[in-house]
Every structure is written in structure tokens, then in C-alpha cells.
Structure 1
Amino acid sequence: MPRPFRRPRLRSTAAVCTTLSALAATSLVSGTSPTGPDRAAPCALRRTGAHHSEGLDTWNAAYPRPTRRLDAAMVFLSFPDAVPRTTPAELTADHFPATSRFFERSSYGRFTLRPHPLGHWIRMPRPSTAYAVRRDWNPVRRSAYLRDAVAAADPEVDFSRYDVVYFVADPDAPGVDSDATKVVNLDTPLRADGRDIRRVVTVFERHPPDRLVLAHETGHVFDLPDLYQRPVDGKGDWDTYVGDWDLMGSQFGLAPDLFAWHKWKLGWLDPGQVVCVRSLGTTRVTLEPLGAGPATPVTGAAGVPVFGLGHGTKLAVVRTGPDSVLAFEARGPVGNDGSACRSGILVYRVRSGAASGGGPVRVIDAHPHTAGCWEGSVYPPLADAPVGLGESFTVPGEGVRVEAESRTASGAWTVKITAG
């Protein structure tokens, strides 16, 4: 579900991250970590019953896994109380190819989202105002909307052909609320063309829409959680958990590429691209920039663009408890992160028992007394969170220290992680 982009206020104190139990893992070789399919396994948190759990030891089969081409139906809904002022072609162009390109870059070419727009309007049986569309939508009215949409579209859409369904409402109809765009998970699936429809993306965006909003909602279709917090009174900061650093936190972020943890969960990183730091002592890891893929240039040590990255180590992990880890990845203005405020090693905590919206991922600020990119960041206090080149940082309460020692000629980062 999208949320408003509100310019943040300057914080007076550093954000305090939840202190968890001391390191539980007890063995590993220091130095270069071994390659092989199981080197990351000890740090793969178990999936829990939390909604959109960040556990990744198994895949939740209720969701399509984006490790192949997936086909998406786009159905455009008009209403008796409004004449559309836009065309389905214009609304398709609002979201594609931008959404597909985001996922292609983020997945290093491992996933293709192919849209199938219907090309004309499907008339709903009731006025737009009859459905009382809003952010916190009445379940009865929402169910009526979805039933009507499926029934109206079914004569022209073979739902059995599609992995993802987008119902796109006429943005100018009087009863449409752009704040209501979201993924609806159905306890009782709708049935059409011999297929159970278990979730639908309901799109109510204005024209033109919020940036990357459809990519955010599609992330939920793949079992990714909301990483923003929703203030109780609606007036506080939404982005204190992860700031600009993941699409599931904010579609407006300067560096919205998905966390390496999410890429591991989705199947876009091989086990050999993840290092599990399992012992007390020091481990050195060479981390490729998260946004660097096989055809994405990064700036090398000599200031020359370098191609060919994308198959090396992307993520280092320290286990901190039964359902928690610290994650380390290299971020900078590459790929989907082209507008990143700072380059360096981003540190964040992952908890598999925390539900969507409950802070399952929290970025840890290596510069708690400063901020960055006030002109564009969704939450400037975290915009400069990464550990910069030549800097070191000790994670509060964990006894884990990270140092960004140097960069290689190819643009990768040499990182020293000391646990204990």
C-alpha cells in the first residue's frame, strides 16, 4: 500500500535500535569464507507465521516465486458515474516498462514481469461511489468490488493464463481514492476460469502515479513485507525503519533497490553469493555493489567504469539470535540505486518473527548525529547511514564491528567484520 511522502523533521537524538541477545553462533574460519552451497545456510532465518515473514529457509508456496517469467493481467475498470479521461494505453505506460525494468535490474536478469494490458475499459455494474473505496477499506465493500470486477472481466479475460492480476480503476471516477492502492489477500479465493485467485493488486493511482508504486505492490505479491511504520495518528515519520534503502520501505526512496536479504529470499542470489560469519573473530569479505549486475557499470578504483560484476558476494550475515541477524551489503549510485545519497556498507537488522509493518528490517545508522540529502531523501537521518570508505562502526549492543577497508579495482568493497 503506498503512503504519503512527507518531508521529515530533523531528529534530536539518534535512533536507538532494539538490542537483542548476544551472538549465538560459535564457529567459523576467519579470512576468506569457503564457497559452496551451504556456507550461507546457518544464517538463513526460519520462516515463521508472521505475515510476510523475513525467514527464507523455505519458500511460501502460496506466493508465486519470481525466478522465471511471470505474466500479469492488467484489467481497466470504468464506472457508470464517470467517463474516463485517460486511456488504458496511457495508464499502462504509467507503470510499464518502468516496473519490469526495476525487477529485471534488481534480479540481475533472473526475473521478467510481462504485462498483458487488456486495451479497453471494462464497465463495472455499480457507480464508483457505491464501493466506498479508501485506504482502510471496509472488507464487505472491498469484497463486493472484487467480485464485481472478476465477474465483469471474466468474459474477456482468461484468468488461468496469469500469475499476477492488476485491477486498474479509472483514476478520475469520483469514488476512487488513490491512497487505497494495495494488494488484497483473500482468505476465500475468487474462482474464475478454473483457477483460484488468491490475491489481487487493486490500483487506484492518479495519472501520472506515484513513482514505483506498482513495483512496491508487486513486491507484496512475492511475499515481501512493508518496511515502513505507519504512525498511529498519521502525522509522524513513516520512514524511520529503513529510510530510502528499500522499495518496500518507500517507493520514493533515493536508493530503492531491494535489500540483498530480499534478493536472497526471492531466489536472485545464489548461496555462494552470501557469506555467513559464524564465529568470534575477524572475517574479511569482498562485497560487490548491490546494484551491479553483469551489464551494469560501476566506478573502479581508477575512476573508470567497470562492467562484468554481478556474480560475486553481495551479502554478509552475522547471526544474532534464533530469529535475528545483522546484514551487511555495499550500496552506492548503481543500477536501481542511481540516486543514492551515500556509498558504503549498509548495516541492517532482520527479524523473521516481526510481521509486515512491524519493523522486520531496520537500518542501523553508522552516522547517528548527521543527516544527508535533505532535498530528496524520504528520511535524511538515515540517508547517510552506510559505513564509508576508511570508516569503522560498532553495532550498538551486539559487539560486532565493521570496517570498510578499501575498494578493489573493479569497484567492490573489502570489508572486515569482527564479532565478539
Structure 2
Amino acid sequence: MSPPGVRPKLRGAAAVCTTMSALAATSMVTAPSTAEPFSPAPCALTRTGAHHSEGVDTWNAAYPRPARSLDAVLVFLSFPDSRPLTAPRELAGDHFPATSRFFRRASYGAFTLRAHPLRHWIAMPRPSTEYAIQRDWSAEHRAAYLRDALAAADGAVDFSRYDVVYFVADPDAPGVDSDATKVVNLDTPLRADGTDIRRVVTVFENHPPDRLVLAHETGHVFDLPDLYHRPADGRGDWDTHVGDWDLMGSQFGLAPDLFGWHKWKLGWLRPRQVACVRGAGPVRLTLEPLGAGPGAEAAGAAGAAGGAGAAGAAGAAGFGLGRGTKLAVVRTGAGDALAFEARGPVGNDGAACRAGVLVYRVRSEAASGSGPIRVIDAHPDTAACWEESVYPPLADAPVALGESFTVPGEDVRVKVEGRTASGAWTVQITTG
């Protein structure tokens, strides 16, 4: 489920935009006291029973893994208490090809989501108001909605052909609540056309919808958790855990590419692209920009939000990257790890506010919505991009070129030493 509502973009004073320092050409140097060849296995947290656990040692076979092309059907549902004002093709255009493009970039071309939208409305048997659609939907009303939708669509759709099912409601029907868009996981699967349907994306978005909302919900189909913070009373800021830095935190983020940890989990990073840093003493390594690589077009953000200029040029130059190290990990406990990755205005992160090495903590025992990943702010006393960022205090979280940062509460220090001619970042990580 996504954070609620269409977020206002004006947050205060104008953002202070800075231009990144010129690139410094440096080469990879590995200190002799640390673990070669950086096997990721010791840093792979064990998958737990937590909902959407961030463990990466095994894949949860209950979910389709997006390591190949998958087919998705969009079924458009109308109701007897409302005449649709928007054609199915227009609603399909709200989400595709944007959703497929996001995943193609995020996966470096390894995954394609193929959309198959129906061209006509499927009539539901009951008025929209009878389903009591809302964000925290009752199981009874939700089950009735799914049963009716499946029965109504079964004659027009061969569900055995599809890996992902989207039920898209008429956005103008009086009982439709845009905050209710979510993935429904079914303990007892629905059955149609000889196949079990274990989860359905129920879409109740406005037209036009929230940006990248369907990509966020589709992430849940692939076992990714919600990363936002949900205030106990429903009020307050939802973006304090990860800010702009991952789609599963906010579909509005300036840098919504999936964390390197998620790309590792989904199989989009090869083992050699994940460096497990162990032992005392410093390790020097080169981190390629997370958003750069085959299939992840450079979306340089010159002038989009602070962090353009040289960094944007580096993003464009980094288009050919994609086979080197993308993620560095320090294991800090049985179910905890620190992750380090280079973020900047390239690919899905084209509007990134700041560029640098982002640091975050991963907990495999924390369930979806309970902070399984939290960004660690390298600049806790400042904020950035007030007019655009979903959470300005974390917009400048990355460790910038020439800076050093010690992770609070850990004997772990990262220093960003330079940039290569291709746009990669050279860093030193010291543990112990």
C-alpha cells in the first residue's frame, strides 16, 4: 500500500541548489587486510517470517520473481451507480508504459513487465458504495469485491495467461476511494481458468493518478515491503524512514530507484556486484552509480533539483556502467546490516536532490511498514530541496565527495575519496 493522498509539492523556502565538484579520476585500490574477493554471502541476511522480510539468502517462492518477462492484465471495472467518464485506454495510459519503464531501468534491462489492458469496461453487479472501499478495508467487503470482480471478468479474461492481475476501478464512481489502492494477498487463493490467483492489485486511483503508484504496488507483488513510516494517528510525516530514496517509501520521491539491497533481493545484482566488507581496517573500492547501466537510461537532471551540473554529466557518461560493484555491505548483527551505494541524477533517479554515497540500515526481522530499511543521514543538521522533496531532512543524506562520515552507534566509517572518469565513486570503508 502507498502513502495516502496526492502530496503537496511546496514545502517552504526555495531549495538551495549546488553544483557537484569536478570529477577526480582515481582507480580502485583494495587494502590488504580485508576480505577478497568480497563474497556477498557472509553479509546476506537470512529471510525471516516477517511480512516481506528483507532477508536475501533465499527467495520466497510464494511470489513471482521478476528475473524474466512477466505478463500483467488490467481489468477495468464499472459500477451500476456511475457511468465512466474515462476510457479504459486512457486509464491504461496513466500507468503504462511508465511502470514498465521504471522496472526496465531499475533492473538494468533484466526484467520486462508486459501490460495487457482490456479495451472495454467489465460491469460489476453491485453499486460501488456497497463495497465500503477505503484505505483500511474490512476483509468482508474486500472479499466480496474480489469475488464479484473475478466472476464478472472471467468470461473475458483467461487468467491462466497472466502473472500479475490489476483490477482497475472507475475512478469517478461515488464509492471509490483513491487511498484504498493496494495489493491484496490471499490466504486462500481465488481460482479461475485452472490457475490459483494468490494476490491482486486493486487500483482505485484518480485520473490522473499519483506518480509511479502502480510501480509501488507492483513492488509488493515481488515481495518488497512498505518503507514509509505510518504515524499512529494517521497524521504527521510518512517519509521519515527513507525519504526520497526508494519507491517503496514514496511514489513521489525525487530519487525513487529501488535500493541496491532490493535489487540484490530481486536478482538484478550479480553476486560480484555486492561487496561484503569484513574485518578491521580500511577497504577501498569503487561503487558504480546505482541508476546507471544497460537498460537504465541516463535521465540527467540538469536544473531539476540541486545536484545537477557535473553530477548530471557523470550520470550521462555512466550509461555504459552496470557490471561493477553497486552495493557494499557491512554485517552488524544476526539480522542487521549497513548498506552503502552511490546515488545521483541518472536513470530512475534523474531528479535526485543530491549525489553521493547513501548509507542505510537493513533489518530482516522487521515487517513491512515497521522500518525494515532506514536511511542514515550524513547531514543531520541540514535539509535540502524544500520545494520538491517528500522529506527535506533526508534529501541531503548522502555522503558527498570529499566527506567522511561515521555511522552513529557503529564503529563504521565511510570516506568518499573521489570520482572516476566514467562517473563511479571511490570510497573507503573502515570497520573496527
TM more than 0.5: yes
CA separation of 1:302 and 1:347: change in aligned 2, threshold 3 A: closer
Amino acid at match of 1:102: F
Secondary structure in 2 matching 1:282: strand
CA contact (8 A) 2:76 2:120 kept: yes
Q: What residue in structure 1 maps to residue 227 of structure 2?
A: 227
- Unaligned 5+ runs, structure 1: 11-27
The equivalent of 2:290 in structure 1 is 290
Tell me, in whole angstroms, the C-alpha distance in 1 between the residues paired with 2:33 and 2:100: 39
CA RMSD after TM alignment: 1.9
Structure 1 345/218 Cα, relative in aligned 2: closer, same or farther at 3 Å?
same
Q: Which of the numbers 399, 414, 417 marks the counterpart of 2:411?
A: 399
Q: Which residue of 2 aligns with 1:130?
A: 130
Find out whether 1:358 has 2:370 as its counterpart. yes
For residue 386 of structure 2, what is the aligned residue in structure 1? 374
Structure 2 SS opposite 1:249: coil
Give, as a single letter, the amino acid of the residue that structure 1 aligns with 2:104.
E
Of 210-219 and 279-288, the range deviating more from structure 2: 279-288
In the alignment, the residues of structure 1 paired with residue 84 and residue 70 of structure 2 have an alpha-carbon distance, to the nearest angstrom, of 29
CA distance in 2: counterparts of 1:116 and 1:33, whole angstroms: 47
Matched with 2:236 is 236
- What percent identity do the matched residue pairs reach? 77
Residue 70 of structure 2 aligns with an amino acid whose one-letter code is: L
SS at match of 1:366: coil
After TM superposition, give the deviation of residue 278 of structure 1 in Å: 1.3
The superposition leaves residues 200-240 of structure 1 with CA deviations (integer Å, 9 ceiling, x where unpaired) of 00000000000000000000000000000111111111000
Query: Contact 2:413–2:429 (CA<8 Å) still a contact in 1?
Result: yes
* In structure 1, distance between residues paired with 2:158 and 2:259: 35
SS in 2 for 1:220: helix
Structure 2 counterparts to residues 57-96 of structure 1, below 5 A: 57-96=57-96
Tell me the TM-score normalized by structure 1.
0.92
Structure-2 separation of matches of 1:141 and 1:165: 19
Partner of 1:309: 321
Contact 1:128/1:174 (8 A) holds in 2: yes
**What amino acid sits opposite 1:2 in the alignment?**
S
Q: Which runs of 5+ in 2 are unaligned?
A: 13-29, 301-308
Secondary structure of the corresponding residue to residue 183 of structure 2: strand
Counterpart of 1:274? 274
- Figure out how many residues of one structure are paired with residues of the other and give that number: 401
Q: How much has 1:9 moved relative to structure 2?
A: 7.9
Question: Whole-Å Cα distance in 1 between the matches of residues 105 and 323 of structure 2?
Answer: 14
- Look up the SS of the partner of 1:75 in the other structure: strand
- Deviation string 1:75-97 (CA, Å, 9 cap, x unpaired) is 00000111000000000000000
**Is the 8 Å Cα contact of residues 34 and 282 (structure 2) preserved in structure 1?**
no
Corresponding position: 1:205 with 2:217: no
Distance 1:357 1:30, change over 3 A: farther
Query: Aligned with 1:378: secondary structure?
Result: coil
Distance 2:414 2:61 in 1: 36
Evaluate the alpha carbon distance shift between residue 303 and residue 181 of structure 1 in structure 2; reply closer, same or farther with a 3 A threshold: closer
Structure 1 residues 182 and 68 mapped into 2: Cα distance closer, same or farther (>3 Å)?
A: same
Equivalent position to 1:327, from 320, 339, 345: 339
Give 1:7 shift: 6.6
Aligned amino acid, residue 348 of structure 2: N
Answer whether contact 1:30 1:284 (CA < 8 A) is retained. Answer: no
Once residues 80 and 236 of structure 2 are traced to their aligned partners in structure 1, the CA distance between those partners, rounded to angstroms, is 38
Provide the residue aligned with 2:355 in structure 1: 343
Instruction: Work out the CA distance in 2 between the residues paired with 1:8 and 1:356.
Output: 29
1:144 CA displacement: 0.3
Deviation at 1:294, TM superposition (A): 2.4
Q: Counterparts of 1:163 and 1:8 in 2: how far apart (Å)?
A: 39
Q: Distance in 2 between matches of 1:365 and 1:30?
A: 30
- CA 1:151–1:314 in 2, change beyond 3 Å: closer, same or farther? same
Q: Distance in 2 between matches of 1:8 and 1:398?
A: 36
Alpha-carbon distance between aligned partners in 1 of 2:274 and 2:405, rounded to the nearest angstrom = 21
TM-score normalised by structure 2 residue count: 0.90
Is 2:165 aligned against 1:165?
Answer: yes
Aligned-pair distance for 1:286? 0.2
Whichever residue aligns with residue 294 of structure 1, its letter is P
Query: In 2, Cα distance between the equivalents of 1:91 and 1:9?
Result: 30
**What secondary structure sits across from 1:316 in the alignment?**
strand
Inter-partner Cα distance in structure 1 for 2:32 and 2:358: 21
Checking the alignment, whether the CA contact within 8 Å between 1:53 and 1:353 is kept in structure 2 is yes
**CA gap 1:141/1:343 in 2 versus in 1, 3 angstroms:** same
Q: Distance in 2 between matches of 1:8 and 1:397?
A: 34
> 2:34–2:279: 8 Å Cα contact kept in structure 1?
no
Q: What is the rounded CA distance, in whole Å, between the counterparts of 2:11 and 2:252 in structure 1?
A: 17
Structure 2 contact 34–281 (Cα < 8 Å) conserved: no
